[in-house]
Structure 1
């Protein structure tokens, strides 16, 4: 694994989002690239320790870097989902047929899903709001992810991902104006990209 490197994905096509400035996006892209670089560095360092026979739970450096790896990896991956479900102008006010059907089957209606997701996205704290799909049942559920790695549901597919850290919307909005940012997010959401993640 040490010789394998992740390359930051490019999201330049997101310039011109409504309510999320290009300046905020540029800072956000750089932050994302940092997660990619640290994921690569940690992976390389841990593989080096393993090759030297120093991979041990009793090795404090190995143990702490291994714990940190989940934070960096998920920081990279969640940002890719987040940027991947945005596009200038969005794809309209409601989800396409298959995604809307999954929302209705799981929440009763698209509107109930949306209200639940917005409630989670505007909770105090740093983290992420994510709609996951259970791969066994196809059911959707909304979750809060603390930091990047706490509360991720093992094996579930992220369908809709919103970055709720302040860096995603400050200085476009004040730190206490996350609801306005959530509105901007939904004006740019690419429901088609989200639907493409659904397991049929």
Structure 2
């Protein structure tokens, strides 16, 4: 009799265990674990976009170590800070570009503006380079540069001088303003999307962008960007 009781208990335990597993699997099928929380959170999060190439693709001009540190720590850090700052505010769920535009010039929102603008600038920076880039562009873009600057050589000189002379940290941009191309500097986290100009390409001249590879030789970093990395295809798409 005792054996029967044990057998019954064992069968009952097996049945209950199976029922729990079955119910869990059924729930997982219709409501994947964390799906509701994830769906809610994803509406409010600014995401770090994937790099448009491998972390070693810009070597030897920008090392994989610099790209990894720049992307995984600096760029990711700005993304994380934006998400922390917008949590529980009216900015949660707002697009990155709108966050930048809505916080620009507001003293009480300067921390959010700086971090959001840095995310936007970095997103644009990675696209401004490609393996096998640089050199002299061709076609309509070459003609536009010549019409705006007088020659490609004069454009190159203008861009290199702007990047080399920028004091402290910031960005140098090739932009379309009115109907011509110009080279423009922005300091620190400032970004051109709040200044009425169309950005075509940018170079990050914060020290973290080049110091591991070039230390204080910013000029070398600038020249290698122009000669080997600038993505003229990206510039042309932005211009069209």
Q: Identify the TM-score tier after normalising by the shorter chain.
A: 0.7 to 0.9
- In structure 2, the residue matched to 1:158 is 199
- State the distance in 2 between where 1:197 and 1:151 align: 14
Task: Note the 1:18-33 alignment, pairs <5 A.
Answer: 18-30=60-72, 31-33=74-76
- In structure 2, the residue matched to 1:53 is none
- In structure 1, the residue matched to 2:231 is 190
Task: Report the secondary structure of 2:213's partner residue.
Answer: coil
When residues 106 and 48 of structure 1 are mapped into structure 2, their CA distance, relative to the original with a 3 A threshold, is closer
Task: Report the secondary structure of 2:212's partner residue.
Answer: coil
Per-residue deviation at 1:74? 1.2
Moved over 4 A (4+): 150-153
- In structure 2, the residue matched to 1:7 is 47
- Larger RCO: 1 or 2 (CA < 8 Å, sep 6+): 1
Task: Report the secondary structure of 1:115's partner residue.
Answer: helix
Q: In the alignment, does 2:89 pair up with 1:46? A: yes
Task: Report the secondary structure of 2:90's partner residue.
Answer: helix
Q: Which segment drifts farther, 8-17 or 31-40?
A: 8-17
Q: Conserved in 2, the CA contact under 8 Å of 1:96 and 1:192?
A: no
Could you tell me which runs of 5 or more consecutive residues in structure 2 were left unpaired when the two chains were aligned.
Answer: 1-40, 93-105
When residues 5 and 148 of structure 1 are mapped into structure 2, their CA distance, relative to the original with a 3 A threshold, is same
Task: Report the secondary structure of 1:172's partner residue.
Answer: helix
Which has the larger helix fraction? 2
When residues 191 and 41 of structure 1 are mapped into structure 2, their CA distance, relative to the original with a 3 A threshold, is same
Higher alpha-carbon Rg:
2
CA deviation digits over 1:41-94, x for unaligned, max 9?
222243289xxxxxxxxxxxxx7551222211110111111100111221x511
- In structure 2, the residue matched to 1:55 is none
Residue-pair matches, total: 181
Q: In the alignment, does 2:166 pair up with 1:142? A: no
Task: Note the 1:102-121 alignment, pairs <5 A.
Answer: 102-121=144-163
Say what the alpha-carbon RMSD is for the aligned residues.
2.3
- Match for residue 97 of structure 1 among 129, 139, 148: 139
Task: Report the secondary structure of 1:171's partner residue.
Answer: helix
Q: Conserved in 1, the CA contact under 8 Å of 2:193 and 2:199?
A: no
- State the distance in 1 between where 2:91 and 2:117 align: 22
- In structure 2, the residue matched to 1:36 is 79
Superposition TM-score, scaled by structure 1 size:
0.81
- Match for residue 210 of structure 2 among 169, 174, 177: 169
